[in-house]
A = this chain, B = another copy of it.
């Protein structure tokens, strides 16, 4: 896009800070806006009928989200929570078709975001259907460290706070099982963890555990 186009697009956006823990939008709500994450990390989640939370995705900075229109929907399929303090740009959904028509790259970008999310969900299904809890948690940690990692001395830190509970909700297990596994892996120096923070020290061993 040209500088002039970017200026036009930004003129129509509203920017705001979403503090950690804030819900940007809720599952099932009327999809009034679509969003771009400038900084921070968004967690996409759903509740089932019994009230169990399942975390579907984590969104890194730079991605569009809440793009219900691109799925032929008028409501959001899941909720989006700020995992840390986030900077978010928002546009009214009414702007969607215009952007799609006017800017070629917009449609293309949308396709590939959707394609990538679909591929990720497909992988999650494969994991849940065929792997044991230990392997699924190893996979989840690898994915998090690759896509949301920050290099530190000796390893990679996951770039947002993450509890045992959250990891269990990402993998369809329980915080107790996650805690036991992380303790064992910490003894083997594969990972290290402080309260709410996890460091991957030895990705290759983790990959091995994930098979």
Which of A124, A129, A172 has most B Cβ within 10 Å? Answer: A129
How many angstroms from the CA of A111 to the CA of B111 in the assembled complex? 10
Given contacts A108-B72, A211-B49, contact A54 B114 (CB under 8 A): no
Q: How many copies of this chain are found per oligomer?
A: 2
Instruction: Give chain B residues whose Cβ lies under 8 Å from the Cβ of A49.
Output: 211
Main secondary structure of the interface of A (DSSP, over half): helix
Tell me if A119 is interfacial: C-beta within 8 Å of chain B.
yes
Interface size class of A (residues with CB under 8 A): 35 or more
Tell me if A66 is interfacial: C-beta within 8 Å of chain B.
no
The residue in chain B whose Cβ has the minimal distance to the Cβ of A108 is B72
Given contacts A128-B172, A172-B128, contact A77 B122 (CB under 8 A): yes
Is there an interface contact between A129 and B130, defined as CB atoms closer than 8 Å? no
Instruction: Give the interface of A toward B (CB within 8 A).
Output: 46, 48-50, 52, 54, 56, 69-73, 77-78, 108, 111-119, 121-122, 124-126, 128-130, 169, 171-172, 211
Is there an interface contact between B114 and A72, defined as CB atoms closer than 8 Å? yes
Given contacts A71-B115, A128-B172, contact A78 B211 (CB under 8 A): no
How many angstroms from the CA of A129 to the CA of B130 in the assembled complex? 12
Instruction: Give chain B residues whose Cβ lies under 8 Å from the Cβ of A171.
Output: 129
List 5 interface pairs A-B (beta carbons < 8 Å), by A numbering. Answer: A54-B126, A54-B129, A54-B130, A71-B114, A125-B125
Given contacts A111-B71, A121-B121, contact A128 B128 (CB under 8 A): yes
How many angstroms from the CA of A125 to the CA of B119 in the assembled complex? 13
Is there an interface contact between A54 and B111, defined as CB atoms closer than 8 Å? no
The residue in chain B whose Cβ has the minimal distance to the Cβ of A55 is B129
How many angstroms from the CA of A111 to the CA of B73 in the assembled complex? 9
Instruction: Give chain B residues whose Cβ lies under 8 Å from the Cβ of A112.
Output: 71-72
Is there an interface contact between B71 and A126, defined as CB atoms closer than 8 Å? no
Instruction: Give chain B residues whose Cβ lies under 8 Å from the Cβ of A70.
Output: 111
Given contacts A50-B130, A50-B211, A211-B50, contact A56 B111 (CB under 8 A): no
